[in-house]
């Protein structure tokens, strides 16, 4: 026998599925994040992924040929640092969009916010559905 709460339960399950899809989309957006930086002299161009890993290094002009090895190494490191900072900013934007108001990614990453505290201890649901979940149809009917 169907319960009078079937539609509310279906709505809650649909909401849960949407939240899972949003989390998966956030993960995809983070994984697809890249950033590219080019030094002002156009000697070095560096692309990094979401976690700052180098994915490409290019030398758009022949300017690198006139550089001392240490100068080129320093330029590569500085340009990679710029690209990493851009990637981190992009990832921060993606993640921050999904956080509750007043919670910063920095606080979360530095352990000042407990991730479990961002989720309610009990899932949100109408009181009638909670009674049904806790006590079954007969228990919920006798309380109502």
* Average pLDDT for runs of 10 along the chain of length 144: 75 85 88 95 95 94 94 96 94 83 78 76 74 69 55
- Please give the Cα distance from 100 to 26 (Å, whole number): 15
- CATH numbers and ranges of domains, the chain: 6-112 (3.30.1310.10)
Question: What pLDDT, on the 0 to 100 scale, is given for residue 85?
Answer: 94
Question: By CB neighbour count within 10 A (0-12 exposed, 13-18 middle, 19+ buried), where does 125 fall?
Answer: middle
- DSSP H or E stretch at residue 2: none
- Please give the Cα distance from 125 to 120 (Å, whole number): 11
- Please give the Cα distance from 29 to 94 (Å, whole number): 7
- Cα dist from 50 to 30, 33, 38, 46, 60, whole Å: 6, 5, 17, 13, 23
Q: For residues 46 and 87, is the Cβ–Cβ distance under 8 A?
A: no
Question: By CB neighbour count within 10 A (0-12 exposed, 13-18 middle, 19+ buried), where does 11 fall?
Answer: middle
Question: What pLDDT, on the 0 to 100 scale, is given for residue 92?
Answer: 86
Q: Exposure pattern of 27-64 as b/e (b: 16+ CB <10 Å)?
A: eebbeebebbbbbeeebbbbbbbbeeeeeeeeeeeeeb
Regarding pTM above 0.75, the answer is no
């Amino acid at each position: 026998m169907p319960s009078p709460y079937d539609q509310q339960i279906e709505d809650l399950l649909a909401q849960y599925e949407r939240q899972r899809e949003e989390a998966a989309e956030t993960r995809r957006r983070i994984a697809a994040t890249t950033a590219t930086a080019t030094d002002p002299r156009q000697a070095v161009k560096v692309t990094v992924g979401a976690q700052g890993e180098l994915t490409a290094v290019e030398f758009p002009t022949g300017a690198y040929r006139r550089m001392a090895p240490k100068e080129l190494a320093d330029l590569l490191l500085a340009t990679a640092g710029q690209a990493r900072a851009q990637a981190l900013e992009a990832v921060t934007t993606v993640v921050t969009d999904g956080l509750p108001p007043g919670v910063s990614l920095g606080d979360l990453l530095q352990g000042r916010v407990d991730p479990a505290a961002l989720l309610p201890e009990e899932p949100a649901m109408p009181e009638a559905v909670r009674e049904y979940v806790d006590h079954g149809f007969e228990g919920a009917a006798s309380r109502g």
